[in-house]
């Protein structure tokens, strides 16, 4: 049987990333990834499993349970809702609620202002224009 630590290691291999690179992408210490990959180590939380799946491009079901295909096909990837797209606290929730009330033009202006405040101006996708 392929264990969770082995699937995490395999997911990293599929993505071609080191423990350090995965940890950096997930804003964690490398030791956390090392622990997850150790047979005697700790088990990642569900949110960390989601993060591993997202960062390595593997199926969450395969990663968490060993069932199904490890790799997502292109159609499945397109339909996946990213965890990062959800409000992570009450303030973000209020912001999203307010943003959804705006017209498309005003949404673009509001996002541009938030990007300026966050120092990430010009990073938004042009698909919504």
- Exposed/middle/buried for residue 11 (C-beta within 10 Å: 0-12, 13-18, 19+): buried
Residues in the chain: 129
| 3 state DSSP class of 71 | strand
53-66: string of b/e by CB count within 10 Å (b at 16+)?
bbbbebbbebbbee
Domain segments of the chain: what residues? 4-79, 87-128
Q: Which is more confident, 115 or 48?
A: 48
Domain 4-79: homologous superfamily in CATH: lambda repressor-like DNA-binding domains (1.10.260.40)
- Residue 2 is predicted with a pLDDT of 87
- Residue 105 is predicted with a pLDDT of 92
Residue-wise pLDDT for 58-103, tens only, equals 999 999 999 888 886 654 554 444 555 666 778 888 888 888 888 9
Q: Give the predicted TM-score (pTM) of the model.
A: 0.58
- Answer whether 35's CB lies under 8 Å from 41's CB: yes
């Amino acid at each position: 049987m392929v264990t969770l630590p082995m699937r995490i290691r395999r997911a990293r291999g599929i993505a071609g990333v080191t423990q350090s690179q995965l940890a950096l992408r997930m804003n964690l210490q490398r030791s956390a990834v090392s622990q997850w990959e150790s047979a005697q180590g700790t088990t990642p939380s569900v949110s960390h499993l989601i993060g591993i799946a997202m960062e390595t491009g593997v199926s969450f079901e395969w990663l968490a349970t060993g069932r199904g295909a490890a790799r997502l096909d292109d159609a499945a990837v397109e339909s996946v809702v990213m965890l990062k797209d959800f409000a992570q606290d009450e303030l973000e929730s209020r912001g999203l609620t307010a943003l959804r009330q705006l017209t498309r033009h005003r949404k673009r202006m509001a996002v541009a202002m938030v990007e300026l405040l966050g120092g990430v101006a010009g990073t938004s996708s042009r698909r919504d224009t």
